Chain A
Amino acid sequence: GAGVSQSPRYKVAKRGQDVALRCDPISGHVSLFWYQQALGQGPEFLTYFQNEAQLDKSGLPSDRFFAERPEGSVSTLKIQRTQQEDSAVYLCASSSGGMGTGELFFGEGSRLTVL
Protein backbone atom coordinates (compact mmCIF):
# COMPACT_ATOMS: atom_id res chain seq x y z
CA GLY A 1 0.00 0.00 0.00
CA ALA A 2 0.85 3.64 -0.13
CA GLY A 3 1.35 4.04 3.60
CA VAL A 4 1.53 2.18 6.88
CA SER A 5 -1.83 0.67 7.73
CA GLN A 6 -2.92 -0.27 11.24
CA SER A 7 -5.98 -2.14 12.43
CA PRO A 8 -8.15 -1.87 14.32
CA ARG A 9 -8.12 1.91 14.63
CA TYR A 10 -10.05 1.67 17.88
CA LYS A 11 -10.28 -1.18 20.34
CA VAL A 12 -12.15 -1.35 23.63
CA ALA A 13 -11.24 -4.27 25.84
CA LYS A 14 -12.34 -5.38 29.23
CA ARG A 15 -9.58 -5.77 31.76
CA GLY A 16 -8.09 -9.23 31.47
CA GLN A 17 -8.89 -9.71 27.79
CA ASP A 18 -6.23 -10.39 25.19
CA VAL A 19 -5.88 -8.03 22.22
CA ALA A 20 -4.02 -8.18 18.92
CA LEU A 21 -3.05 -5.11 16.92
CA ARG A 22 -1.97 -5.42 13.31
CA CYS A 23 0.46 -3.39 11.26
CA ASP A 24 0.94 -3.47 7.48
CA PRO A 25 4.15 -1.57 6.72
CA ILE A 26 5.06 0.05 3.45
CA SER A 27 5.92 -2.67 0.97
CA GLY A 28 9.63 -3.45 0.92
CA HIS A 29 10.45 -1.64 4.14
CA VAL A 30 13.02 -3.59 6.09
CA SER A 31 12.58 -1.98 9.48
CA LEU A 32 9.43 -1.99 11.57
CA PHE A 33 8.87 -0.32 14.92
CA TRP A 34 6.16 -0.28 17.55
CA TYR A 35 5.69 2.71 19.81
CA GLN A 36 3.25 3.36 22.65
CA GLN A 37 1.79 6.84 23.11
CA ALA A 38 -0.04 7.52 26.34
CA LEU A 39 -2.36 10.49 26.63
CA GLY A 40 -0.41 13.74 26.72
CA GLN A 41 2.91 12.03 26.14
CA GLY A 42 5.23 11.51 23.23
CA PRO A 43 5.61 8.11 21.61
CA GLU A 44 7.76 5.65 23.54
CA PHE A 45 9.73 2.87 21.86
CA LEU A 46 8.50 -0.68 22.37
CA THR A 47 10.27 -2.92 19.88
CA TYR A 48 12.17 -3.06 16.59
CA PHE A 49 12.26 -5.62 13.77
CA GLN A 50 14.68 -5.87 10.91
CA ASN A 51 12.89 -8.12 8.45
CA GLU A 52 11.59 -11.01 10.57
CA ALA A 53 14.21 -10.66 13.30
CA GLN A 54 13.22 -8.87 16.48
CA LEU A 55 16.46 -7.06 17.25
CA ASP A 56 15.30 -5.01 20.20
CA LYS A 57 12.39 -5.56 22.56
CA SER A 58 13.76 -3.54 25.42
CA GLY A 59 10.79 -1.19 25.50
CA LEU A 60 8.08 -3.81 26.01
CA PRO A 61 6.67 -2.93 29.44
CA SER A 62 6.01 -6.48 30.64
CA ASP A 63 5.93 -10.09 29.54
CA ARG A 64 2.25 -9.58 28.71
CA PHE A 65 3.40 -7.77 25.58
CA PHE A 66 4.53 -9.80 22.60
CA ALA A 67 5.29 -8.78 19.02
CA GLU A 68 5.99 -10.82 15.93
CA ARG A 69 6.75 -10.33 12.25
CA PRO A 70 7.03 -13.91 10.99
CA GLU A 71 7.45 -13.25 7.27
CA GLY A 72 9.19 -9.93 7.47
CA SER A 73 6.20 -7.86 6.41
CA VAL A 74 3.00 -7.71 8.51
CA SER A 75 3.51 -7.42 12.26
CA THR A 76 1.22 -8.11 15.19
CA LEU A 77 1.47 -6.67 18.67
CA LYS A 78 -0.31 -8.83 21.21
CA ILE A 79 -1.19 -7.80 24.72
CA GLN A 80 -2.32 -10.52 27.08
CA ARG A 81 -4.51 -9.98 30.15
CA THR A 82 -4.91 -6.29 29.45
CA GLN A 83 -4.72 -3.82 32.32
CA GLN A 84 -6.02 -0.26 32.53
CA GLU A 85 -2.50 1.12 32.30
CA ASP A 86 -2.23 -0.44 28.84
CA SER A 87 -4.69 2.16 27.52
CA ALA A 88 -2.79 4.14 24.90
CA VAL A 89 -2.35 4.66 21.20
CA TYR A 90 -0.08 2.03 19.69
CA LEU A 91 1.87 3.33 16.72
CA CYS A 92 3.55 1.30 14.06
CA ALA A 93 6.27 2.76 11.85
CA SER A 94 8.44 1.44 9.07
CA SER A 95 11.54 2.56 7.25
CA SER A 96 13.43 1.39 4.20
CA GLY A 97 16.85 1.18 5.83
CA GLY A 98 18.30 -1.23 8.34
CA MET A 99 20.07 0.83 10.98
CA GLY A 100 18.07 3.84 9.96
CA THR A 101 18.52 7.56 10.13
CA GLY A 102 15.22 8.17 11.81
CA GLU A 103 13.00 8.79 8.80
CA LEU A 104 10.13 6.70 9.95
CA PHE A 105 6.75 6.43 8.26
CA PHE A 106 4.02 6.12 10.85
CA GLY A 107 0.58 4.65 10.69
CA GLU A 108 -2.40 6.42 12.23
CA GLY A 109 -2.25 4.21 15.28
CA SER A 110 -4.53 1.83 17.14
CA ARG A 111 -6.23 3.42 20.13
CA LEU A 112 -6.70 0.86 22.91
CA THR A 113 -9.03 1.59 25.80
CA VAL A 114 -9.10 -0.92 28.65
CA LEU A 115 -12.14 -0.70 30.90
Chain B
Amino acid sequence: AQSVTQLDSQVPVFEEAPVELRCNYSSSVSVYLFWYVQYPNQGLQLLLKYLSGSTLVESINGFEAEFNKSQTSFHLRKPSVHISDTAEYFCAVSGGSNYKLTFGKGTLLTVNP
Protein backbone atom coordinates (compact mmCIF):
# COMPACT_ATOMS: atom_id res chain seq x y z
CA ALA B 1 0.00 0.00 0.00
CA GLN B 2 1.06 3.57 -0.66
CA SER B 3 0.53 6.79 1.20
CA VAL B 4 1.26 10.44 0.48
CA THR B 5 1.88 13.24 2.93
CA GLN B 6 1.66 16.86 1.89
CA LEU B 7 3.16 18.72 4.77
CA ASP B 8 1.49 22.09 4.19
CA SER B 9 -2.24 22.52 3.78
CA GLN B 10 -1.89 26.18 2.79
CA VAL B 11 1.00 28.18 1.34
CA PRO B 12 0.55 31.93 0.89
CA VAL B 13 3.21 33.74 -1.13
CA PHE B 14 3.69 37.04 -2.89
CA GLU B 15 3.84 37.29 -6.65
CA GLU B 16 7.32 36.68 -8.13
CA ALA B 17 8.51 34.91 -4.97
CA PRO B 18 9.83 31.33 -5.11
CA VAL B 19 7.71 28.52 -3.74
CA GLU B 20 8.17 24.91 -2.68
CA LEU B 21 5.27 22.55 -2.03
CA ARG B 22 6.40 19.51 -0.11
CA CYS B 23 5.38 15.92 -0.76
CA ASN B 24 6.59 12.73 0.88
CA TYR B 25 5.41 9.25 0.04
CA SER B 26 5.71 5.73 1.33
CA SER B 27 5.54 2.60 -0.75
CA SER B 28 6.85 -0.93 -0.62
CA VAL B 29 7.24 -1.07 -4.40
CA SER B 30 8.74 1.20 -7.02
CA VAL B 31 6.50 4.12 -7.77
CA TYR B 32 5.31 6.60 -10.30
CA LEU B 33 4.84 10.12 -8.90
CA PHE B 34 2.56 12.93 -10.01
CA TRP B 35 1.50 16.45 -9.27
CA TYR B 36 -2.04 17.42 -10.19
CA VAL B 37 -3.41 20.97 -10.04
CA GLN B 38 -6.96 22.14 -9.52
CA TYR B 39 -7.68 25.73 -10.49
CA PRO B 40 -10.81 27.36 -9.02
CA ASN B 41 -13.99 25.84 -10.44
CA GLN B 42 -12.08 23.42 -12.66
CA GLY B 43 -11.26 19.72 -12.63
CA LEU B 44 -7.94 18.22 -11.67
CA GLN B 45 -5.24 18.50 -14.33
CA LEU B 46 -1.92 16.70 -14.58
CA LEU B 47 0.93 19.15 -13.96
CA LEU B 48 3.92 16.83 -14.22
CA LYS B 49 4.94 13.24 -13.62
CA TYR B 50 7.93 11.08 -12.85
CA LEU B 51 7.89 7.61 -14.38
CA SER B 52 11.57 6.79 -14.84
CA GLY B 53 14.82 8.29 -16.07
CA SER B 54 15.83 11.80 -15.05
CA THR B 55 14.78 12.53 -11.50
CA LEU B 56 14.07 16.18 -12.35
CA VAL B 57 10.86 16.73 -14.27
CA GLU B 58 9.40 19.98 -15.52
CA SER B 59 6.03 21.35 -16.53
CA ILE B 60 5.30 23.72 -19.39
CA ASN B 61 4.47 26.58 -17.03
CA GLY B 62 7.72 26.68 -15.09
CA PHE B 63 7.13 24.21 -12.25
CA GLU B 64 9.62 21.44 -11.57
CA ALA B 65 9.78 18.50 -9.19
CA GLU B 66 12.64 16.24 -8.20
CA PHE B 67 12.25 12.61 -7.29
CA ASN B 68 14.45 11.80 -4.29
CA LYS B 69 14.34 8.09 -3.58
CA SER B 70 16.46 8.20 -0.44
CA GLN B 71 14.23 10.84 1.13
CA THR B 72 11.04 9.46 -0.45
CA SER B 73 10.14 12.95 -1.56
CA PHE B 74 8.80 14.63 -4.67
CA HIS B 75 8.72 18.34 -3.82
CA LEU B 76 7.28 20.83 -6.30
CA ARG B 77 9.11 24.10 -6.90
CA LYS B 78 8.79 27.26 -8.95
CA PRO B 79 11.37 30.05 -8.85
CA SER B 80 8.88 32.87 -9.46
CA VAL B 81 5.13 32.48 -9.07
CA HIS B 82 2.30 34.36 -10.78
CA ILE B 83 -1.14 35.19 -9.49
CA SER B 84 -2.50 32.71 -12.03
CA ASP B 85 -0.70 29.90 -10.16
CA THR B 86 -3.24 30.22 -7.35
CA ALA B 87 -4.75 26.75 -7.10
CA GLU B 88 -4.81 23.58 -5.06
CA TYR B 89 -1.96 21.18 -5.75
CA PHE B 90 -2.19 17.45 -5.15
CA CYS B 91 0.72 15.04 -5.00
CA ALA B 92 -0.11 11.46 -6.01
CA VAL B 93 1.63 8.12 -6.22
CA SER B 94 0.93 4.87 -8.00
CA GLY B 95 2.81 1.64 -7.57
CA GLY B 96 2.38 -2.04 -8.13
CA SER B 97 -0.85 -2.03 -10.09
CA ASN B 98 0.14 1.31 -11.63
CA TYR B 99 -3.44 2.34 -12.30
CA LYS B 100 -4.62 3.26 -8.81
CA LEU B 101 -3.53 6.71 -7.70
CA THR B 102 -3.17 7.56 -4.03
CA PHE B 103 -3.46 11.29 -3.43
CA GLY B 104 -2.27 13.56 -0.67
CA LYS B 105 -4.68 15.95 1.02
CA GLY B 106 -3.60 18.84 -1.14
CA THR B 107 -1.83 22.17 -0.67
CA LEU B 108 -3.66 25.41 -1.39
CA LEU B 109 -1.22 27.83 -3.00
CA THR B 110 -2.39 31.43 -2.81
CA VAL B 111 -0.35 34.01 -4.70
CA ASN B 112 -0.93 37.56 -3.53
CA PRO B 113 -0.06 40.76 -5.42
A residues whose Cβ falls under 8 Å from a Cβ of B:
3-4, 31, 33, 40-45, 48, 56, 91, 93, 99-104, 106-109
Q: Are B46 and A104 in contact (CB under 8 A)?
A: yes
Residues of chain A contacted by B104 (CB below 8 angstroms): 42
Give chain B nearest CB distance to A38 CB in angstroms: 10
Main DSSP-derived SS at the A contact region = loop
What are 16 contact pairs spanning A and B, CB under 8 A? A4-B43, A33-B99, A41-B105, A41-B106, A42-B6, A42-B92, A42-B104, A42-B105, A45-B101, A56-B99, A100-B99, A101-B49, A102-B32, A102-B49, A102-B99, A103-B49
Residues of chain A contacted by B49 (CB below 8 angstroms): 101-103
Is B84 at the interface (CB under 8 A from chain A)?
no
Is B98 at the interface (CB under 8 A from chain A)?
yes
Give chain B nearest CB distance to A59 CB in angstroms: 8
Q: Are B98 and A108 in contact (CB under 8 A)?
A: no
